[in-house]
Amino acid sequence: MAKRIFVTATNTDIGKTYTSVKLLKEFAAQGLRVAAIKPVETGVIDGVYLDGAMLLHTIKELNPECADLSIEDVVPISYELPAAPYIASKGEPFDFAKVDVAIAKLEEICDVLIIEGAGGLYVPVDGTFMIVDLISYFQANTLLVTHCSLGCINDTLLSLQTLKNKGLAHVFAFNCRAEDSSFSTISEPFFLNNKYDVFKVSKDIDTICELLYNL
């Protein structure tokens, strides 16, 4: 089994795919064969996979053994409606077997597998499982990506508490954007004063990768 790293976030549009690509490039730079999967993607309209296509392009670029992969290998389950999988699928059970087959295929050609979630930890996958349950099922180490705007303290702590309660090995990192220049004064002091490691996706990806690989 490859080293599995599950990329989740405090909400949607936080930067999971951006971060996943950064992880893939860093691990590849270390000489490791990389691959990625997004088990389920919603909002796939007219065959356009916004997240999956980026992941597929990246792993083909970084790992020659991924050259013949198709988008269905990287995104085995997809729906048109841009909503939680439970809603987009109209409540149908999540097809774990289909994803397991896709992962097995990818793990034949990689040392590190990045698994990208959908939305945040409590996004419903079906009537029984949430995204957080997939992390346990896939036995993956977790990277929680969080934002740097006002409210990130609450959002980050809630997600971290969930990971802790579930006993999931994890690292968290901030994806700060150009408009988040106030982070250093309105939110970062809390984390620093409370002895949290403040890793930023943009500049600490090497450290983040090392920690995730060795959890």
* Catalytic residue of the set 3, 16, 22, 38: 38
Residue 11 and residue 63: Cα distance in Å, rounded?
30
Residue 22 and residue 26: Cα distance in Å, rounded?
6
- The pair of three-digit structure tokens given for residue 151, joined into one six-digit string: 């409210």
Report the DSSP beta bridge partners of residue 5. 114, 141
The yes-or-no answer on residue 38 being catalytic is yes
- Whose structure tokens read 């916004």? 50
Residue 186 and residue 161: Cα distance in Å, rounded?
21
- The pair of three-digit structure tokens given for residue 32, joined into one six-digit string: 């490791």
Q: Calculate helix-pair angle for 205-214, 16-29, nearest 10 degrees.
A: 80
Residue 86 Cα to chain centre, angstroms: 18
Q: Are strands 34-37 and 170-174 parallel, antiparallel or unpaired?
A: unpaired
Strands (E), 86-185: 112-120, 141-146, 170-174
Amino acid letter at 99?
A: V
Identify the CA nearest to 154 among candidates 165, 162, 118, 212. Answer: 162
Q: What are phi and psi of 44, to 5 degrees?
A: -90, 100
Residues catalogued as catalytic: 38
